[in-house]
Amino acid sequence: MPTYILALDQGTTSSRSILFDKSGTPVAQVSKEFRQIYPNPGWVEHDPMEIWESQLFTAKEVIKKAGISPSDIEAVGITNQRETTIIWDRVSGKPVYNAIVWQCRRTSQLCDELKKDNMEPVIREKTGLVVDAYFSGTKIKWILDNVEGARSRAEKGELCFGTVDSWLLYNLTGGKVHATDFSNASRTMLFNINDNKWDESIAKRLSVPESLLPEVRNSSGYFGKIDKTVLGAEIPITGIAGDQQAALFGQGCFEKGLAKNTYGTGCFLLMNTGEERFTSSHGLLTTQAWGMNDKVDYALEGSVFIAGAAIQWLRDEMKLISHASESEEVAKEVDDTAGVYFVPAFVGLGAPYWDMYARGTVVGLTRGTGRAHMVRAALEAIAYQVKDLVLAMEADSKIELKELRADGGAVANSVLMQFQADILGVPLVVSKVAETTALGAAYMAGLAVGFWKDMNEIACHWQEGKRYLPRMDKEGADCRYAGWKRAVERAKGWAVGHSER
């Protein structure tokens, strides 16, 4: 009887479950979108119960779809949207507040205070991160400060904090396990990546009681068993990694210097730096890639907050398209944007700018600007933002990128992929398995139970799907990119002094 690994991929816009066979091929997949909640400008929340229920729904459905029994699953791996913060009651499992999503800007002012107190160099040195509302630390403080009774309950040890992996793990194990892995812990702004421990002094500065924090474990290793009542069989959970680190793993970037970019809601460029902790001087983050066999590997990371989300915005708010995939046909109606640049800084700008107060901006509009130009400008903005990251990474690592491995939902868009290759001037290689995030989590889980022997076996699975070669002349690419840089200047600092908090 063949057996499988089940990957639970809890993304920002959808929950997904995918079954992988021994060759690393997805055999069945089910996904479900869930609600995005925007209570105030710049605020983003999810309902934790919807996260859990949509994830559970897809897990049950994928088992049905593949026609297998839950006992045919050897192990489960979890990968998740990172930084998103949930606090729940340790006993009842009831969340005290909605999940505050990584994109949410509500703690920007608190971050300003930390910067004013000169905490930035300390936080950078200890956590590898910049001080930004993006990370979990200030989101935890916000919940404890603003939800009635939360702080006193937290101080009594009655509450649990978790990123989405911990939340799913807690629910899957019937409330028995409160843990996370290195890759997720290193995104909280509370975890010391030098000695691999929660940092007492940062936790104290943010008034986060230590009892709130999950136990941190290896990404590939035993976390607990799925409670029998959940899927009908006790299945070990043996892999957890944040989505971007999981994608780095799923892309087979096991060696120092290998990099991938994921085109999802946001864009995330990660380069494996092995056991070396690079400190960026170009606005990138130092993060833990994964912990395996009690050894932690590191990565240099650049993140763009709004990438595919700009396409969703065109679809949902502007109603310029009815499906994300329609952006490709519409963009093809024109050869270029006719000088229009769209900076989708809806929630500020991430690397390399780190401007919490930047806001979305469209420049270069003329009387002739039409829908196709706007749609094309949104796609091009994704590519320009990735170029920003690539330049920063090359400057920090002194490694010139020869090609870029690409994955994520938006790699389906050939206009975007071609423009990306053009603007970067290097080939863009889309892996055959598009779901590399889920695959990475499956690999981690499978390695821990001997489903796959070692990383060499896995590395052999990686296959090229499609390759986009640069076609644009360098002068044209440079000229367009210079236009983008000018547009970014217009978007910066817009919300300073604005009542948006």
Using the minimum distance from each CB to ligand ADP, give the nearer residue, 11 or 128.
Answer: 11
Query: Any alpha helices (H) in 67-185, and if so which ranges?
Result: 108-116, 120-127, 136-146, 150-155, 164-172, 182-185
Which residue, 355 or 435, is less far from ligand ADP as judged by CB? 435
> At its nearest, how many Å lie between ligand ADP and the CB of residue 318?
13
Minimum Å distance from CB 243 to ligand ADP? 7
Burial readout 18-43 (b: 16 or more C-beta within 10 A, e: otherwise): bbbbeebebbbbbbbebebeeeeebb
Nearer to ligand ADP, 168 or 208 (CB): 168
The pairing of strands 179-181 and 215-217 is parallel
**Residue closer to ligand ADP, measured from CB, 196 or 325:** 325
**Of 286 and 413, which CB lies nearer to ligand ADP in the complex structure?**
413
The packing angle between helices 414-424 and 474-491, to 10°, is: 100
Residue 77: CB minimum distance to ligand ADP, A: 15
Q: Which residue lies nearest ligand ADP, judged by its C-beta?
A: 409
Residues that bind ligand ADP (CB under 6 A): 11-14, 264-265, 308-309, 311-312, 324-325, 327-328, 408-410, 412-413, 416
Closer to ligand ADP by Cβ: residue 153 or 376 = 376
d(CA 30, CA 203): 38
**CA 303 to CA 283: how far, in whole Å?**
10
Q: Could you tell me the smallest distance in angstroms from the CB atom of residue 14 to ligand ADP?
A: 5
Q: Which is nearer to ligand ADP, 309 or 495 (CB)?
A: 309
Shortest gap between Cβ of 351 and ligand ADP (angstroms)? 17
Distances from the Cα of 386 to the Cα of 262, 450, 486, angstroms: 10, 36, 16
Element at 439 (helix H, strand E):
helix 436-448
When the beta carbons of 391 and 434 are compared against ligand ADP, the nearer one is: 434
CB of residue 439 to ligand ADP, shortest distance in Å: 13
In contact, 284 and 352? CB cutoff 8 Å: yes
CA trace torsion 320, 326, 329, 332 (10° rounding): 50
| Largest distance between two CA atoms of the chain | 65
Q: Order of strands, edge to edge, in the sheet holding 285-292?
A: 285-292, 295-304, 267-274, 259-263, 404-407, 428-431, 464-468
Q: How far is the CB of 410 from ligand ADP (least distance, A)?
A: 4
Kindly state the smallest distance separating residue 309's Cβ from ligand ADP, in Å.
5
Q: Where are the strands (E) in 424-485, listed by range?
A: 428-431, 464-468
